[in-house]
Amino acid sequence: MTEPTTPAGWGIQLSKLWIASGQPFPVDVKLLALEVTKQRFEDPVGLVVPHGVSGIDGMLSKRAKKGDWCISYDESVTVPGRINFTLAHELGHYFCHRQRQAEFRCGQGAMLDYYGDASRKLEKEANVFASYLLMPATDFRQQIDGQTISLELLGAVADRYETSFTATALKWLEITPEAAMLVVARDEFICWSYPSRQASSKRAYLPPGTEVPATAIERLQTATNHSGNNWCSVPPGVWHPSLEAEEAVIVSDQFELTIFLVRFPSVREVVHEEETEHDSFDVLAGLAQGFDWGR
Ligand SMILES: [Zn+2]
């Protein structure tokens, strides 16, 4: 098997290997890490263990005596999907970066900071790897085929892959022909937003620091059930200057984050025949540096 040269390439190859061997989802990253690296490399991942250090979600470190690698993780993390994504992230460092460093310590900040600067390049690459390994696009499309997207459906897909809601929604935005956008906010200010390809072509995007629309805040304060599955129609000028939108919202108590999923149903879907892989993590990093806008 030829060796991939990119994080996405590694993620896709290992994901295919997992499926071809008849294994079910979610990908058991621990099993995969131990088995595949043992077969292919002289310095395999020899150990995957909890480390009991809070604040460091995951670590990859070389063991001097044995010459192999250890992946360790914070087992006290209770957010669904976080541990699996962390393990995949660390495995990404192993496949893509272990020649550069003997130790990687990764925290919540590093993994969720989609707008990281160049020094965070390795973190972004590890996220890309994890996304492709855990959520293969073909299978993802099969899970949502013929259904209207909803928070509930994305939640079910997240359960299938043992990934977080955010990582799952980003993957959906990567592959959907719809115009839609994910917006993550804290304290009524937007931390980051990510449009689908089609939404991006309509310039749907809200930069970090933008205030959350007042009507959305009002709705949050009056709604009794924040994780309901209801789409709420809102006029142009709320999420986009000229487009009507539908919004759905989840409040994440754990990180005091408010996550909006926004659709622009009036924008016609365009299915690109020759679809290049549209990589949300890559685009996000590009946006941070002022590149890629309008893509
Ligand atoms: Zn990392």
Q: Can you give the pLDDT at residue 295?
A: 23
Is 179:198 a contact under the CB 8 Å cutoff? yes
Spacing, Cα 111 to ligand 1 middle (Å): 7
Task: State in Å: Cα 90 to ligand 1 middle.
Answer: 6
Residue 280: the pLDDT is 57
Q: How far is the CA of 124 from the centre of ligand 1 (A)?
A: 8
pLDDT number for residue 229 = 57
All structural domains of the chain: 7-134 (1.10.10.2910), 154-288 (3.30.450)
CA distance 247 to 182: 10
* Number of other residues whose CB lies within 10 A of the CB of residue 175: 19
Residue 16 alpha carbon to ligand 1 centre in Å:
23
Q: How far apart are CA 266 and CA 243, in angstroms?
A: 7
Q: How far is the CA of 60 from the centre of ligand 1 (A)?
A: 8
Please, what are the averages of pLDDT over each run of 10 residues along the chain (295 residues)?
90 96 96 96 97 88 96 86 91 96 80 51 91 96 95 94 92 95 92 94 94 91 62 95 94 79 89 52 38 24
Strand pairing category for 103-106 and 58-62: antiparallel
Determine the distance separating the centroid of ligand 1 and the alpha carbon of 56, expressed in angstroms. 10
Angle between helices 121-134 and 280-288 (to 10 degrees): 160
In whole angstroms, give the CA distance from residue 248 to residue 98: 40
Distance from residue 77's CA to the centre of ligand 1 (Å): 16
Q: What is the pTM of this model?
A: 0.85
**Separation of CA 289 and ligand 1 centre (Å):** 20
Distance from Cα 222 to the centre of ligand 1, integer Å? 39
Measured in Å, residue 202 CA sits from the centre of ligand 1 at 33
pLDDT for position 224: 58
Nearest to residue 229, comparing CAs of 295, 150, 282? Answer: 150
- From ligand 1's centre to the CA of 191, what distance in Å? 20
pLDDT of residue 159: 95
Instruction: Look at residue 181 and give its three-state secondary structure.
Output: strand
Under 8 Å between Cβ of 189 and 217: no
Dump strand ranges (E) for the chain. Answer: 45-50, 58-62, 69-73, 103-106, 180-186, 189-195, 232-234, 245-252, 257-263
